[in-house]
């Protein structure tokens, strides 16, 4: 009997709590309705009220007006932020893009640099536009969010590292790239048309993308160590030692020995100079050369000639002319190290 009475009492309590919750929700909705109606009436009647006000009263009204705007903006930011952070509002549709631009809330803090929801929405607008034009398929919207955030994080880490070494991406750097693109695509107007047709973006937005890419490029070309390296490739260790001895005794210059003995015909044309990229005489750890060759090369001081080094291609005698940069790492290792040693606070988690 007592058990039935307790069960009945518990059921009644649940009904009362449910009714109370419904009442609270109704009260909240009514409060918001009254608030919105009040604001609407205030702004509609504002011009009439201003005509009848003194200067002091006008100033008070302006303060009230600005306070109301700030309050409305903060309330909007809270509501929109709740939608974004709970992933109820997608960043890849028109409403999400507009809301993210009006309320550029933080998505991630990388050191002292911020990635905003606006940054993500702007990137995704380009990605989805291109996918639609080219009939390409993308993953889920949250997967796209994650990839865009990774890309933006990489840019912020690059900017942080460049600042550490006093390196800047300048307007002139961006202009140089833009001029090259315009030359390759029959002029400025043609580039503008291509950007609009393929990506739905302006040249101003594209310059921002170029700026970000140059930040990554400068990590590889100016921060990570690169070397100007020459080599002589022969098939036998004995021959390699014989050639090395001739060079060290001054009987032949390294370049002449390379032209005479090296089996690397491509490098022989430049006196043994290795070029993994036609745009530069310097190579880095990401150049794709054999690991044994790279490790031996980066261990040398400028002007020093190595002992014979064995790779799958044969025996190398290596000479480094010049070393540039500060960090002896691959790009992937630099990125991993930067992530570990930088304070990163992710607020938006796709």
The three-class DSSP label of residue 264 is: coil
Count of Cβ atoms closer than 10 Å to residue 112 Cβ: 10
What average pLDDT does the segment 6-18 reach? 54
Q: What is the pLDDT of residues 119-139, one digit of tens each?
A: 999 999 999 998 988 888 888
What is the tally of helices (H) and strands (E) in the chain? 13, 7
Q: Where are the beta strands (DSSP E) in 203-343?
A: 226-234, 283-284, 309-311, 314-324
DSSP bridge partners of 227? 283, 323
Q: What is the pLDDT of residues 69-106, one digit of tens each?
A: 888 889 889 999 999 999 999 998 889 999 999 999 99
Count CA within 13 A, CB hemisphere, residue 118. Answer: 10
Q: Are strands 226-234 and 314-324 parallel, antiparallel or unpaired?
A: antiparallel
The answer to whether residues 96 and 89 touch, using CB atoms and an 8 Å cutoff, is yes
Token pair of 48, please? 């009439």
Q: What is the pLDDT of residues 222-266, one digit of tens each?
A: 999 999 999 999 999 999 999 999 999 999 999 999 999 999 888
Domains and CATH numbers, the chain: 2-85 (no CATH), 108-222 (1.10.4030.10), 226-324 (3.10.50.40)
Token pair of 319, please? 């000479």
The pLDDT assigned to 149 comes to 96
Measured CA to CA, the distance from residue 159 to residue 177 in angstroms comes to 19
Q: How far is CA 34 from the centre of its chain?
A: 44
- N-term to C-term CA, the chain: 53
> Phi, psi (5° rounding) for residue 300?
-90, 150
Burial code of 12-49, b = ≥16 C-beta within 10 A, e = fewer?
A: eeeeeeeeeeeeeeeeeeeeeeeeeeeeeeeeeeeeee
């Amino acid at each position: 009997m007592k058990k039935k009475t307790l069960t009945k009492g518990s059921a009644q309590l649940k009904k009362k709590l449910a009714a109370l919750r419904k009442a609270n929700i109704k009260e909240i909705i009514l409060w918001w309705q009254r608030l919105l109606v009040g604001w609407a009436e205030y702004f509609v009647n504002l011009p009439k009220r201003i005509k009848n006000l003194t200067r002091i009263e006008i100033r008070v009204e302006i303060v009230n007006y600005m306070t109301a705007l700030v309050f409305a903006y903060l309330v909007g930011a809270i509501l929109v932020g709740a939608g974004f952070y709970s992933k109820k509002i997608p960043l890849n549709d028109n409403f999400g893009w507009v809301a993210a631009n009006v309320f550029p809330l933080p998505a991630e803090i990388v050191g002292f640099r911020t990635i905003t929801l606006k940054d993500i929405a702007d990137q995704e607008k380009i990605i989805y536009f291109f996918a639609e034009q080219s009939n390409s398929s993308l993953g889920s919207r949250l997967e796209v969010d994650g990839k865009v955030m990774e890309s933006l994080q990489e840019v912020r880490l690059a900017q942080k590292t460049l600042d550490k070494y006093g390196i800047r991406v300048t307007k002139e750097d961006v202009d140089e790239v833009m001029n090259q693109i315009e030359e390759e695509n029959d002029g400025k107007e043609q580039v503008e048309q291509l950007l609009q047709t393929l990506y739905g973006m302006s040249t101003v937005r594209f310059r921002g993308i170029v700026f970000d890419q140059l930040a990554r490029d400068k990590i590889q070309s100016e921060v990570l160590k690169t070397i100007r390296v020459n080599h002589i490739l022969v098939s036998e260790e004995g021959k390699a030692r014989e050639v090395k001895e001739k060079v060290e005794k001054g009987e032949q210059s390294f370049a002449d020995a390379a032209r005479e003995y090296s089996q690397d015909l491509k490098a022989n044309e430049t006196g043994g100079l290795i070029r993994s990229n036609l745009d530069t005489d310097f190579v880095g750890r990401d150049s794709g050369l054999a690991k044994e060759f790279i490790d031996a090369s980066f261990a040398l001081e400028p002007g020093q000639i190595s002992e014979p080094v064995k790779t799958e291609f044969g025996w190398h005698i290596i000479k480094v002319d010049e070393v540039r940069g500060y960090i002896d790492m691959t790009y992937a290792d630099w990125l991993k190290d930067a992530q570990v040693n930088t304070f990163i606070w992710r607020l938006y988690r796709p």
